[in-house]
Chain A
């Protein structure tokens, strides 16, 4: 029982305070950047993650069971729930890009 209470407390803690910095570390070592780019910008190898419209629940659902694609399933043995939350926090922390109209090279 004590163990369950501690686990619940711990779960609540990580749920409340995900660590974006750790998420950034995981983004690298878990190879997320390889397909999605260091800023989650996406490319032909993987879709854009930056400024995602997903919430944490939706993000984790796709992480655990991605649609048919090149994206592997990241189950809890590879990325814990706490780590997934940290990862999501990092993705959410990626600053929005400057408006296209403010970048002369992209105006046309």
Chain B
């Protein structure tokens, strides 16, 4: 019987999801009446299916064609389902966004050399953002199996080398049993905090040659319990926090789940401590009275009044607690912004996964108490210790403090609304108006913002009511542009099965990197509302050029050169239509926004991706 006969006999040719041929933890049972000839990639797919991965994002590449074919014709294109991507960078960013919502990895397949090179920046973003991505890279290691030049230039001795600095683990299996063990191990490592991308090389010969190994089995996946902070250290942290007059909590990549958010709320309320959210995860409800003010200048919120600072998976904490010479001055000096005697407590799992070359670890923190452990996993113990340490006197003092925090919070919210009114009717449309108009249309829906909002001066954070973990996905991690659109598509894929309304406020420069992700959304019918924040520039860089021009008594007038995206203006609605989306715009009159957004939501609710181009103010 040929291979097709085997597939037919197994039921996969009819598109039915097959029961695994190889049960987890068991040796395979031969299927009666079928030929034993089947490719190694079938087994590889069985291994992948055992991990419960829902989707596989890929731009096709011949070095993984064996797995590609097995996914379709052996596994029936289910668990995982293939997502057709137009660029490997988009594949990884899509997985990145998906993981932010779903809390587990999407699989990505890349061509061993050029595909992985394309994917590398997005892998770096995921690394910096502590996000699991499960990467399978195709490669042909054995020279005897390289058919012609294309397979020579697409083959590599050590495939993972180019991304090893920013992946948590990789392996290059030389047998199917080796693949099974490493594939399971990789998943486990990726999903142990700190979450990070992992990479397994799928050798072309192993994929495409018939299975010859005997007694193949898939190891049982046992997830690692996340590392919790040392008990004595947690007790000491609780003592310091309860004794503090003004503790402040800095939340970075703290909440991995809704439960994590709820734990942070519980801790903050026991302490009546302000939470300064770095908005890298959905850590804390934005309407909570203890939520720190996100709209202050300078960018890093003021923590000068803290006597104890608790940093939970914080990013670049040093910059949070120090003032450095800004760009409009010469030289570089720094000074602490904490008041004398203030104590710093850090809780983070990132210390378990440091590497040397890339500098995403930030500056060394001279903490008074540094706890290595996942913050979300450590919070239950910390909360218990805080409860134990609370005396009646301390409870009274803490309640008084809470009232002051709430008053300050109310005042800052009032200021935000007053500032939002400035330029309300202007064109280009203010980012505050844009954010308020979107909020008016989505606030009664089960919504999820699948984009960062810093480029809109954080107006959604300031004006919307974020209360659920899936309502915000944080940021790119490594500031690699080209992340936004595909990450939003990936997050929207995760939201789809939950019936949530995904909203992507999409910056123009980012979309231009890989607009093909729009086609992926249309092709796979991913409902999502894309609203362009079209300021017609790579505006951050435009500001820097103007700044330096003025600083050196030259001219800020040239700052459009090399940064502005105008002349001709880019017609994003036409681009989206070309990729098969319903699209409107450009919208320049703010009064046209609400009806356009309503029309868009109607379409999205029918299962379509939509794009509305809006001409906006810079920030």
Residues of A within 8 A of B (CB): 29-31, 33-35, 37-48, 50-51, 66, 68-75, 77-78, 97-100, 103, 105-106
Contact = CB atoms under 8 A, between A and B. Distances in A.
B297 interface: yes
B448 interface: no
A46 to B, nearest CB: 8
B326 A68 contact: yes
Given A41-B419, A44-B295, A106 B559 contact: no
Nearest to A30: B556
Interface string B394-432: 000000000000000000000001111111101010111
Contacts of B270: none
Contacts of A97: 418, 421-424
Given A44-B299, A44-B457, A69-B298, A78 B424 contact: no
Interface residues of B, number: 49
Contacts of B439: 105
B326 A70 contact: yes
A73 B454 contact: no
Contact of A33 (B323, B325, B548, B618): B618
A51 B325 CA distance: 29
B618 A37 contact: yes
22 contacts: A30-B556, A31-B546, A34-B559, A35-B543, A35-B618, A38-B423, A39-B423, A41-B422, A41-B426, A43-B431, A44-B299, A45-B457, A45-B543, A45-B619, A46-B297, A66-B328, A68-B329, A78-B549, A78-B550, A97-B421, A105-B440, A106-B421
Interface of B: 295, 297-299, 323, 325-329, 417-424, 426, 428, 430-432, 436-437, 439-440, 454, 457-458, 463, 539, 542-543, 546-551, 553-557, 559, 617-619
Contact of B328 (A69, A78, A100, A103): A69
B298 A31 contact: no
Contacts of B551: 72-73
A43 B539 CA distance: 13
A98 B547 contact: no
Contacts of A77: 553
B414 to A, nearest CB: 8
Contacts of B549: 31, 72, 78
Contact of A38 (B420, B426, B437): B426
A91 to B, nearest CB: 12
Contact of B430 (A39, A45, A51): A39
Contacts of B555: 78
Contact of A50 (B329, B422, B554): B422
A71 B328 CA distance: 6
A81 B419 CA distance: 29
Contacts of B422: 37, 39-42, 48, 50-51, 97
3 tightest Cβ-Cβ pairs between the two chains A and B: A39-B423, A43-B457, A31-B546
A34 B539 contact: yes
A98 B617 contact: no
B66 to A, nearest CB: 49
Given A31-B546, A48-B419, A105 B327 contact: no
Given A29-B557, A31-B550, A34-B539, 18 more contacts: A34-B546, A34-B559, A34-B618, A35-B543, A35-B618, A37-B430, A37-B619, A43-B618, A44-B297, A44-B454, A44-B619, A45-B457, A45-B543, A72-B549, A72-B556, A74-B550, A98-B421, A100-B420
Contacts of A75: 553
Nearest to A97: B421
Contacts of A66: 328
Given A34-B546, A70-B327, A98 B299 contact: no
A37 B550 contact: no
